[in-house]
């Protein structure tokens, strides 16, 4: 994390798509074919992994985050700016308002799963303070209101003067718009939404072509404005989001202002700023069908996924700029992989899916969700990682809080929104994108369908779904077949399985054969569905050995272990001498998986053998005898104290890329269909 003054700060933002109801305006060309989210409020997750995380976020993380905001003066700043109390700006940074907004957003989502009158009343109080802190014309930025113009090198002699550098004025209120939309959707109250609208109307008065033509130094308001547009239906907010993207250029690579956004083809600079911007671009591309945006965002996605993505889904390799490094520069111990950047990567890939309807975006999303994002918070919900490295000599430890608190406040709002990523729909299509135990009630073409999933995912690839429409209904079910089950460790050519798996994926519908055609990574099943129809999908999930592209020097002649979407790591505490950095692995050694209900709240582990090594005084290496090797899921490392950890295991012999995988076989007994699912 960055706490030095001369470094630009990473802040973050996020959002989770909640209901995007009624896209009724001139921007949407064909609502019937547009993929729409199925809001998390329609999906009740009951599994052993996410349901406890969502509960802990409500019971532990959100109260801690509000407690820290009280303790550090972040909340008092609003009271002082609103004239209720006297004093100076209390906390560290002019962007600290954003943390309070993000926690309110998370609490609003959480209220929908866990109704809590005490929490709702607390939010009402906070919103009252925020309203008082808002100046008469809609401006809200407690630092300037309390301390005055020019009181901090970042904020400038007047409003908006340093918005393109470090003032974070637009960044803060972008988070406020997201929070206000969430609060409105959770409570139906307009209190916070009206504050946000008043603010956005001021921004619209001051910024635009022929007005202030400046861009935000930290992107985020673009996402917030799109959400405001979706909830109000007022196209001026979408126009303003597009303006803040189109006006970029002539500035720094650090915040992606070096070129016009439609001229950008590679990912550069600060990773969270970048991924928020790409998220905003994908939103605008989806809503306007602007081909310049679509072309640019497709190229940037390719650059990230083929050259700059960690196996854990983390992005932003280097700590100096908290951002993207050169292609294939993916160091493990010094990997930055900020938690916020993982969250932003999920936002971005989600919108890429909404734009293109292809499951490869979900492959990246799922990999990030289950690995580089989830590692950001401890199983107890009260300790946080800012960077998420892939190797440690024991120096890494989750912290209670950070001076720059972007990551924990981002987790507060992300975790409760996870159920919203399970399904999506068009007028007559239902997409199943993630597999986890849940019951959902989904509106399709005015009819309600109840869907349940039963599965041990991510530990096992068997999923049983029950489809229950009110009345028999014709629609198309699109089941995602993850890339990991198709001999693809991650989309692109950055990571490959060492060996191909030729086990079949099996699909059964009420035990009967029925034609379907694979498309864009989905099994497309069109039929008249009736009450109690059962769909069984069985994706073999063996332990897989992964190698990286030969240009990734940090991973050369190393192997990582993946099973389903989960990446595994060796942690010192599980090995006989508490060390892992001295281990080497014979790539031909067999690995077995095993479920341990008592370990780390219930996880699968991988068991095998490795050799330990010793260095001699003359610099040689002595290989010792085999010893047992135990691997745990990467997202739960560092929950048992600090110790050595390693994702990429050095091997005893060279490993290289295997032959290309044959097309996967999907069978639907008793018939069998072969085809490419891409």
Interface positions with Zn ion (CB under 5 A): 12, 338, 340, 406-407
Beta strands 533-538 and 462-469, pairing class: antiparallel
Structure tokens at 439: 């019951």
Minimum separation from the CB atom of position 223 to Zn ion (A): 15
Minimum separation from the CB atom of position 12 to Zn ion (A): 5
Using the minimum distance from each CB to Zn ion, give the nearer residue, 100 or 543. 100
Minimum separation from the CB atom of position 319 to Zn ion (A): 12
Structure tokens at 298: 């497709």
| Among 321, 381, 261, residue whose Cα is nearest residue 639 | 381
| Among 471, 470, 469, 434, residue whose Cα is nearest residue 453 | 434
Using the minimum distance from each CB to Zn ion, give the nearer residue, 336 or 475. 336
Q: Which residues contact 101 (CB under 8 A, 6 or more apart)?
A: 172, 175, 176, 178, 179
Minimum separation from the CB atom of position 406 to Zn ion (A): 3
Q: Is the CA virtual torsion 551, 554, 556, 561 positive or negative?
A: negative
Mapped onto helix, strand or coil, the DSSP state of residue 561 is: strand
Phi, psi (degrees; rounded to nearest 5) at 321: -110, 10
Neighbours of 67 (CB within 10 A): 11
Using the minimum distance from each CB to Zn ion, give the nearer residue, 95 or 435. 95
Using the minimum distance from each CB to Zn ion, give the nearer residue, 10 or 460. 10
Using the minimum distance from each CB to Zn ion, give the nearer residue, 407 or 490. 407
DSSP state at residue 394: S
Using the minimum distance from each CB to Zn ion, give the nearer residue, 155 or 340. 340
| Among 420, 532, 531, residue whose Cα is nearest residue 45 | 420
| Among 163, 150, 173, 147, residue whose Cα is nearest residue 81 | 147
Using the minimum distance from each CB to Zn ion, give the nearer residue, 411 or 645. 411
Minimum separation from the CB atom of position 387 to Zn ion (A): 9
Give the whole-angstrom CA distance, residue 489 versus residue 166: 39
What number of H helices and E strands is found in the chain?
15, 25
Strand partners, 425: 36, 430
Using the minimum distance from each CB to Zn ion, give the nearer residue, 310 or 423. 310
* Residue 622 Cα distances to 13, 221, 612, 627, 672, angstroms: 49, 56, 9, 15, 52
DSSP state at residue 341: H
Phi, psi (degrees; rounded to nearest 5) at 610: -145, 170
Using the minimum distance from each CB to Zn ion, give the nearer residue, 387 or 518. 387
* Helical segments of 599-658, H only: none
In the bound state, the residue with its beta carbon closest to Zn ion is 340
Mapped onto helix, strand or coil, the DSSP state of residue 659 is: coil
Each residue of 391-414: b (16+ CB within 10 Å) or e?
A: bbeeebebeebbebbbbbbbbbbb
Please check whether residue 590 is in contact with residue 569, taking contact to mean a CB–CB distance below 8 angstroms. Answer: no
Please check whether residue 513 is in contact with residue 671, taking contact to mean a CB–CB distance below 8 angstroms. Answer: yes
* Residue 434 Cα distances to 231, 420, 440, angstroms: 26, 10, 13
Using the minimum distance from each CB to Zn ion, give the nearer residue, 203 or 407. 407
Using the minimum distance from each CB to Zn ion, give the nearer residue, 3 or 626. 3
Using the minimum distance from each CB to Zn ion, give the nearer residue, 12 or 38. 12
Minimum separation from the CB atom of position 47 to Zn ion (A): 27
* Helical segments of 385-476, H only: 406-414
- Residue-by-residue DSSP string for 102-163: HHHHHHHHHHHHS--HHHHHHHHHHHHHHHHHS-TTS---HHHHHH-TTSSTTT-SSTTTTT
Minimum separation from the CB atom of position 419 to Zn ion (A): 23
Using the minimum distance from each CB to Zn ion, give the nearer residue, 406 or 505. 406
Please check whether residue 522 is in contact with residue 431, taking contact to mean a CB–CB distance below 8 angstroms. Answer: yes
Give the whole-angstrom CA distance, residue 273 versus residue 221: 11
Using the minimum distance from each CB to Zn ion, give the nearer residue, 362 or 385. 385
Minimum separation from the CB atom of position 339 to Zn ion (A): 5
- Between the CA atoms of 325, 328, 333 and 334, what dihedral angle is there, to the nearest 10 degrees? -10
Using the minimum distance from each CB to Zn ion, give the nearer residue, 4 or 26. 4
DSSP state at residue 677: -
Strand partners, 649: 559
Using the minimum distance from each CB to Zn ion, give the nearer residue, 406 or 649. 406
Mapped onto helix, strand or coil, the DSSP state of residue 230 is: helix
Neighbours of 196 (CB within 10 A): 31
Phi, psi (degrees; rounded to nearest 5) at 131: -60, -40
Using the minimum distance from each CB to Zn ion, give the nearer residue, 103 or 119. 103
* Helical segments of 429-561, H only: none
Give the whole-angstrom CA distance, residue 238 versus residue 251: 23
């Amino acid at each position: 994390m960055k706490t030095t003054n001369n470094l630009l700060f990473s802040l973050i933002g996020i959002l989770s798509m909640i209901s995007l109801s009624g896209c009724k305006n001139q921007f949407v060309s064909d609502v019937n074919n547009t993929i729409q989210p199925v809001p998390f409020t329609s999906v009740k997750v009951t599994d052993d992994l996410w349901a406890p995380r969502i509960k802990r976020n409500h019971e532990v993380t959100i109260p801690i985050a509000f407690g820290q905001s009280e303790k550090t003066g972040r909340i008092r700043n609003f009271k002082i700016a609103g004239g209720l109390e006297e004093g100076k700006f209390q906390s560290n940074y002019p962007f600290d308002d954003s943390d309070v907004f993000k926690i309110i957003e998370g609490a609003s989502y959480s209220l929908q799963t866990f109704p809590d009158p005490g929490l709702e009343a607390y939010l009402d109080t906070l919103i009252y303070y925020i309203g008082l802190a808002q100046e008469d014309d809609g401006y809200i930025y407690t630092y300037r209101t309390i301390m005055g113009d020019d009181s901090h090198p970042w904020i400038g002699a007047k409003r908006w003067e340093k918005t393109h550098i470090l003032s974070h004025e637009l960044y803060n209120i972008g988070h406020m718009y997201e929070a206000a939309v969430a609060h409105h959707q959770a409570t139906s109250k307009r209190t916070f939404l009206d504050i946000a609208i008043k603010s956005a109307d001021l921004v619209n008065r001051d910024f635009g072509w022929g007005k202030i033509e400046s861009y935000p130094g930290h992107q985020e308001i673009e996402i917030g404005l799109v959400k405001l547009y979706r909830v109000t239906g007022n196209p001026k907010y979408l126009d303003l989001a597009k303006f803040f993207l189109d006006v970029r250029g002539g500035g720094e690579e650090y915040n992606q202002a070096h070129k016009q956004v439609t001229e950008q083809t590679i990912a550069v600079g600060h990773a969270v700023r970048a991924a928020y911007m790409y998220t905003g671009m994908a939103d605008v591309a989806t809503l306007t069908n602007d081909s310049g945006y679509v072309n640019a965002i497709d190229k940037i996605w390719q650059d990230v996924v083929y050259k700059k993505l960690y196996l854990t889904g983390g992005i932003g390799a280097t700590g100096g700029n908290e951002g993207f490094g050169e292609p294939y520069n993916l160091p493990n111990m010094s990997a930055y992989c900020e938690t916020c950047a993982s969250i932003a990567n999920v936002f971005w890939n989600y919108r890429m899916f909404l734009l293109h309807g292809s499951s490869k975006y979900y492959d990246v999303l799922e990999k990030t969700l289950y690995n580089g994002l989830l590692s950001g918070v401890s199983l107890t919900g009260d300790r946080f990682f800012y960077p998420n490295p892939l190797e440690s000599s024991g120096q890494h430890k989750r912290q209670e809080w950070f001076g720059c608190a972007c990551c924990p406040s981002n987790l507060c709002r992300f975790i409760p929104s996870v159920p919203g990523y399970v399904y999506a729909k068009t007028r007559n299509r239902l997409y199943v994108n993630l597999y986890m135990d849940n019951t959902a009630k989904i509106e399709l073409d005015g009819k309600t369908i109840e869907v349940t999933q039963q599965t041990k995912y991510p530990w096992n690839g068997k999923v049983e779904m029950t489809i229950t429409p009110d009345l028999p209904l014709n629609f198309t079910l699109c089941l995602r077949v993850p890339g990991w089950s198709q001999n693809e460790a991650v989309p692109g050519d950055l990571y490959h399985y060492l060996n191909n798996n030729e086990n079949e994926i099996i699909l059964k519908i009420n035990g009967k054969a029925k034609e379907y055609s694979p498309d864009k990574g989905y099994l497309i099943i069109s039929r008249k569905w009736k009450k109690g129809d059962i769909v069984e999908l069985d994706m073999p999930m063996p332990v897989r050995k992964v190698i990286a592209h030969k240009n990734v020097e940090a991973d050369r002649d190393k192997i990582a272990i993946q099973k389903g979407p989960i990446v595994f790591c060796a942690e010192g505490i599980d090995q006989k001498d508490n060390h892992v950095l001295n281990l080497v692995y014979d790539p031909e050694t067999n690995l077995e998986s095993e479920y341990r209900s008592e370990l780390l709240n219930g996880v699968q582990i991988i068991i095998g053998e490795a050799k330990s090594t010793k260095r001699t005084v003359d610099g040689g290496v002595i290989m010792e005898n085999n010893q047992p090797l135990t691997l745990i899921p990467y997202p739960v490392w560092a929950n048992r104290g600090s110790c050595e950890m390693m994702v990429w295991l050095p091997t005893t012999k060279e490993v290289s890329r295997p032959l290309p995988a044959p097309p996967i076989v999907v069978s639907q007994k008793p018939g069998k269909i072969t085809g490419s699912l891409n």
